[in-house]
Structure 1
Amino acid sequence: MAPHTIRWGIMATGGIANTFVRDLLIDPKTRDASDVSHQVVAVASSSSQDRATKFIADTGIPAGCAVYGDYESLVADKNVDVIYVATPHSHHYQNVMLALQAKKNVLCEKAFTVNAAQTKILCETAKKNNCFLMEAVWTRYFPLSIQVRRLIQSGEIGEVLRVVADTSFANEVEKEFDTANRMVNPDLAGGALLDLGIYSLTWVFQTLYHTLPRDQRKAPTVAAQMTPYHLTGADESTTILLSFPTTTPSNDTHPQHSQGIAMTNIRVASDPDEKGSAGPAIRIQGVKGEIQVFGGPAYRPTTYRIVPKQGHGAVRTVEYEFPGKGHGMYWEADEVARCLRDGKLESEGMPWEESIVIMEVMDEVRRQGGLMYPQKIESTEFPLPL
């Protein structure tokens, strides 16, 4: 049977879009994905058509790809099956709404939006217009991540009661980032939380929340501390304690309670020497042992280790490769293709409900830290020029 081919339109031409497209162009057969394939049929830059043309040349997209200097033309292209939104977080709501109003399917980069109210409206609009919509939390679709979740669900380390996850980088912030840089610019919803902290939250949620049946998943209570960057007010360091009224996988231990600690920082690194000497960035702790996740950093792990409780077996280490010398974004693209093939509006791996809960957590973290973005990018009004 011929593979199901999905035709992609790329919205924005920055670094993340470059990485995503390069992965799309790798033959799916290199990762044993013979059932789906991908074509990039249109690219749009909001700044100029020339920039989109250069992007096509730089990434090696085959001839015949349409080129646009605005997003309205991209969403109107009848040859496009799904649009990959790779703009800054601050613009996601407006850009995704534009696509959904044109009844286009969407894969939107994380963080999904700036706040939960925006995410809810996007999901409601997707349902109303019968469009597929997914937050591009690519780490969830790695074979390593899937296997770790299965190990938890099988009881490999017993009832899981605590997860610690860190996604941090050591930057000389004042030297490396001017105040307009997206990492520290509130006008672009900048700061550690939405850009990096989402990965720490991803590991906490995919292990303590997503491993339970959907009817048993319950939102956590949140306590957070945030350090603002003195030049812009965006967060440079955020630590979140999440308390879930559940445990996994059986959810019947006493007390029924588990904790996640999600950390992010742009001045200190979770992997200082970039050789793994500091140990795992993620520790998933159960009553019979723990699973440690290494490499990457946390968003692109390469190895996990199972450390059983003393007397319960030997330590085991499993390493994963990235087929075709890819970055790993092709696995989420394959998920999109299969969902579209099967007529699904959302992915079981990253369902709308879970994206909303995670955005609600980040809303509460920002509330406790006193971090507000400009009203325009927090707004649910559409259309609204930014």
Structure 2
Amino acid sequence: MAHTIRWGIMATGWIATTFVRDLLKDPKARDASDVAHRVIAVASSSAKAKATQLISSLGIPGPCTAYGNYEDLVTDSDVDVIYVATPHSHHFQNVMLALSAGKNVLCEKAFTVNAAQAKILYETARQKNLFLMEAVWTRYFPLSVQVRQIIRSGVIGEVLRTVADTSFGEAVEEKWATTHRMVNPDLAGGALLELGIYSLTWVFQTLYHTLPKDQRKPPSVTSQMTRYHLTGADESTSIILTFSTSTPSNTALPRCSHGIALTNIRVSSDPDGQGTSGPTIRIQGTKGEIQVFGYPFRPTRYRVIPVKGAGEVREVECPFPDGGHGMAWEADEVARCLRDGKVESEGMPWEESIAIMEVMDEVRRQGGLEYPAQIESTEYPLQLWG
């Protein structure tokens, strides 16, 4: 019998709507017959009517309770886990609220605004023996799992470089002006936390996560940042990470590896959305290369290219079953962890989330980018705007 998890949804925006749509898909369509999901509560911070509208528009089967505040959601005794889908400027306060109420949490990325906040959240979860995971949905795609397996198998040799580009080509002033969350420092907006997290995800899951745990060491950081002239948020950030080891073994070729994480909101890594410009991710090893196509947050196919004379090029398509967006796989991981009594996922462990947040802290330090003190704060509870 499938293990069923009962979800409470915190927020009613696009990302929450997309996540719930995926939860309502039949798990068997993605070969996940061991787990199942029910959405039993939805909350808006501003109006109960917004929660009611989301329940109605998505046809969430009852009973499903609508709440007009987050406090009532986290104290609902029927909820097993809270999905936090608020702006990342508010993640620290929102997750602390849920943990303080004894609730397990799946929190959208970027996980927090800074590493200090992330450390407090994980320590709180540890003390309370609660499950907590950063919702880096891309890590749980079959495509990502397969790529990591190929790297660990040594098929492309020692991986010495990963280049990942997550960029959107937008008319920034016309589309986002000054208040949109993408460019609003009050919401920790900007290219780095909004988009760069995906480029960093690919760098870390190929050059860091593929190593044995005792060989994983944080990288050194070099970066450059361009600021958006209307708000001061970063519109373009380029990062070079130097890891002190190669992957997967560091035995045959003991030397460092480089991760290059790019993000921009004025130029696109996939201008026509058809992959015409080539792969958005290149993972380069001593025996070959893996190329990944599509935006890094939701890639659709990859190519394995051996060095000359070592075999044939292999193309692999990775479709999304049942019209899903791809978020259900991370939900399945949460369900299995809760079923098995785990407080963290091996696919996105706490120490790795912190390591990535520390990289982003250093990138912001090098670029002179600070967010308002209120959203950088580790004080709880603290009333935030919005």
**What TM-score, normalized to structure 2?**
0.99
Check the 8 A contact 1:134/1:346 in 2, yes or no. yes
Aligned amino acid, residue 52 of structure 1: A
Q: Which runs of 4+ in 1 moved over 4 A?
A: none
Out of 327, 344, 349, the position equivalent to 2:347 is 349
Identical amino acids, percent of aligned pairs: 74
Establish whether residue 14 from structure 1 lines up as the match of residue 13 from structure 2.
Answer: yes
Aligned amino acid, residue 311 of structure 1: G
> For residues 274 and 46 of structure 1, what CA distance do their matches in structure 2 show?
35
> For residues 318 and 188 of structure 2, what CA distance do their matches in structure 1 show?
33
2:360 maps to what in 1? 362
2:312 maps to what in 1? 314
Q: Secondary structure at the match of 2:164?
A: strand
Aligned amino acid, residue 6 of structure 2: R
Aligned amino acid, residue 88 of structure 2: H
Alignment of 1:214-233 (within 5 A): 214-233=213-232
Per-residue deviation, 1:63: 2.2
2:334 maps to what in 1? 336
Aligned amino acid, residue 336 of structure 1: V
Aligned amino acid, residue 36 of structure 1: V
Aligned length: 384
> For residues 346 and 108 of structure 1, what CA distance do their matches in structure 2 show?
12
Check the 8 A contact 2:157/2:288 in 1, yes or no. yes
> For residues 60 and 186 of structure 1, what CA distance do their matches in structure 2 show?
35
2:298 maps to what in 1? 300
1:375 maps to what in 2? 373
Aligned amino acid, residue 335 of structure 2: A
CA deviation string 1:43-99 (max 9, x = no partner)? 000010001000111122112101100000000000000000000010000000000
> For residues 330 and 177 of structure 2, what CA distance do their matches in structure 1 show?
32
Task: Report the RMSD for the aligned CA atoms in angstroms.
Answer: 0.6
1:269 maps to what in 2? 268
Q: Secondary structure at the match of 1:40?
A: strand
1:107 maps to what in 2? 106
CA deviation string 1:322-378 (max 9, x = no partner)? 111100000000000000000000000000000000000000000000000000000
1:193 maps to what in 2? 192
CA deviation string 1:259-300 (max 9, x = no partner)? 0000000000000111111000000000011000002x1110
2:209 maps to what in 1? 210
> For residues 346 and 357 of structure 1, what CA distance do their matches in structure 2 show?
15
Q: Secondary structure at the match of 1:121?
A: helix
Aligned amino acid, residue 309 of structure 1: V
1:244 maps to what in 2? 243
Q: Secondary structure at the match of 2:166?
A: strand
Q: Secondary structure at the match of 2:255?
A: coil
Q: Secondary structure at the match of 1:158?
A: coil
Aligned amino acid, residue 342 of structure 1: D
Check the 8 A contact 2:131/2:344 in 1, yes or no. yes
Q: Secondary structure at the match of 1:5?
A: strand
Establish whether residue 280 from structure 1 lines up as the match of residue 275 from structure 2.
Answer: no
Q: Secondary structure at the match of 1:263?
A: strand
Per-residue deviation, 1:314: 1.1
> For residues 358 and 59 of structure 1, what CA distance do their matches in structure 2 show?
34
Aligned amino acid, residue 164 of structure 1: V
Check the 8 A contact 2:246/2:253 in 1, yes or no. no
Q: Secondary structure at the match of 1:78?
A: coil
Q: Secondary structure at the match of 1:380?
A: coil
> For residues 120 and 67 of structure 2, what CA distance do their matches in structure 1 show?
27
Q: Secondary structure at the match of 1:349?
A: coil
1:91 maps to what in 2? 90
Q: Secondary structure at the match of 1:148?
A: helix
Check the 8 A contact 2:24/2:60 in 1, yes or no. yes
Check the 8 A contact 1:288/1:309 in 2, yes or no. yes
Check the 8 A contact 1:163/1:208 in 2, yes or no. yes
Per-residue deviation, 1:251: 1.2
Per-residue deviation, 1:253: 4.0
> For residues 293 and 272 of structure 1, what CA distance do their matches in structure 2 show?
16
Check the 8 A contact 2:40/2:62 in 1, yes or no. no
Q: Secondary structure at the match of 1:284?
A: strand
> For residues 113 and 288 of structure 1, what CA distance do their matches in structure 2 show?
37
> For residues 215 and 58 of structure 1, what CA distance do their matches in structure 2 show?
48
Check the 8 A contact 1:247/1:253 in 2, yes or no. no
Q: Secondary structure at the match of 1:345?
A: coil
Residue segments in structure 2 that go unaligned for 5+ positions in a row = none
Check the 8 A contact 2:158/2:253 in 1, yes or no. no
Aligned amino acid, residue 209 of structure 1: Y
**What TM-score, normalized to structure 1?**
0.99
Residue segments in structure 1 that go unaligned for 5+ positions in a row = none
Check the 8 A contact 1:5/1:36 in 2, yes or no. yes
> For residues 240 and 255 of structure 1, what CA distance do their matches in structure 2 show?
23
> For residues 59 and 141 of structure 2, what CA distance do their matches in structure 1 show?
25
Aligned amino acid, residue 230 of structure 1: H
Aligned amino acid, residue 103 of structure 1: G
2:72 maps to what in 1? 73
Check the 8 A contact 1:85/1:96 in 2, yes or no. yes
Q: Secondary structure at the match of 2:156?
A: coil
